[in-house]
Structure 1
Amino acid sequence: MPFIEESDLLELHKDVDKAQIINERLLDQIKIKNKELRKSKIQRNVLAGVTGLFLIGTLAIFSFSAGVSQSGSLESQNTNNLLVSIDSLDAIKARIDNLKEQNDELSLVKEFYLAKKFLEKEKIYSVQVKSFVDNNVTLASDALTNTLFVKTNPFYSYSLGNFETLDEARSFRFQLVKMGFKDAFVASYQDGKRLAIEDPY
């Protein structure tokens, strides 16, 4: 096993901590968006229910008042009904506009989640530092979100870092080699499976 200088180990821990902080922030943003999405859906459903009840109530009042009211002239009844109808239409139009705005906001949140799912399907690069016969490894902590512990028949591989580009992974591999991990190499992964071992240069 190669020897690691304490300063190099501290730098490596700092890089891991930075990546963890970024991942935690992204998870917090996702949780906030989920809450907003749920709240908007509930508000939209409640508003739709209230609007439906309002329309049913308005129709019931109109039909009731038309059947019961026998006093007064036909003209005054039509004028009163017309005034109530205009007020009701304005309220319904305002609610429809509000629902359209909420629908636009929900579309933006939906696009965010679709982009996130797309990124999860993308190819990433990581630097493999060790292979093990079994998966009983204390290094594979759930707290380290930028590590990969993948079954690559017949072994389990332990990789550090999650990089979008091959150049970033190669740079990280170079730092690990300088620290003593002479056998470290870059591999590409997708959906939690290793695709290929990449050229180190």
Structure 2
Amino acid sequence: MPFIEENDLLDLHKDIEKSQIINERLLDQIKYKNKDLKKIRVQRNIFAGVAITVLLAVFGIYSFYSGLRTSNNFRGQETLAEAIDSIDTFRNRIDNLKAQNEELSLVKEFYLAKKFIEKEKIYSVQVKSFVENNATLASESLTNTMFVKTNPFYAYSLGAFETLEEAQSFRKQLVQMGFNDAFVASYKDGKRLRIEPSN
């Protein structure tokens, strides 16, 4: 076997020690680099997580507002349809109120005419008298008629005129139609005052 001298052995030990020191330094550098790499990976993972979270949040907010807009548009369409329906409903109500107002106007005119007949002296043309009360002649649809009790008869008269001349003119028309016994009478408070002279 070859012989190694002490100096050479010492140099060899020194070289080994230097190599060990260099190895330890390299291992320390590798550890630091690994730590740096781990930090970078953690930072990269945190950044990716934050980025994904932000993207998901933005997407969620966008979806939420898109859904709101869509539902608002749908609600807007529903609201528009409801508004059109409510406008039609109001028009129908207005038409009904107009019809009721016209009916009330007719009723009011009827009662005003009735009050006028009861309070003022009016003239009417009596066309018939009956011994019994013949209610079938006193139709509610014939508002311009009177059915008055004149002892012992019930008198049936047509028309309610403010002047004697109007009543006499109407009497002439009735005579021409065949009511030869028709005559004009004056009334006040629903009672006959007197039979007026004929023209």
Q: Same fold (TM over 0.5)?
A: no
Question: Per the shorter chain, which TM-score range?
Answer: 0.3 to 0.5
Task: Determine which structure has more spread, i.e. the larger CA radius of gyration.
Answer: 2
The TM-score normalised by the length of structure 2 is 0.43
Select the structure with the greater relative contact order (CA < 8 A; seq sep ≥ 6).
1
The TM-score normalised by the length of structure 1 is 0.43
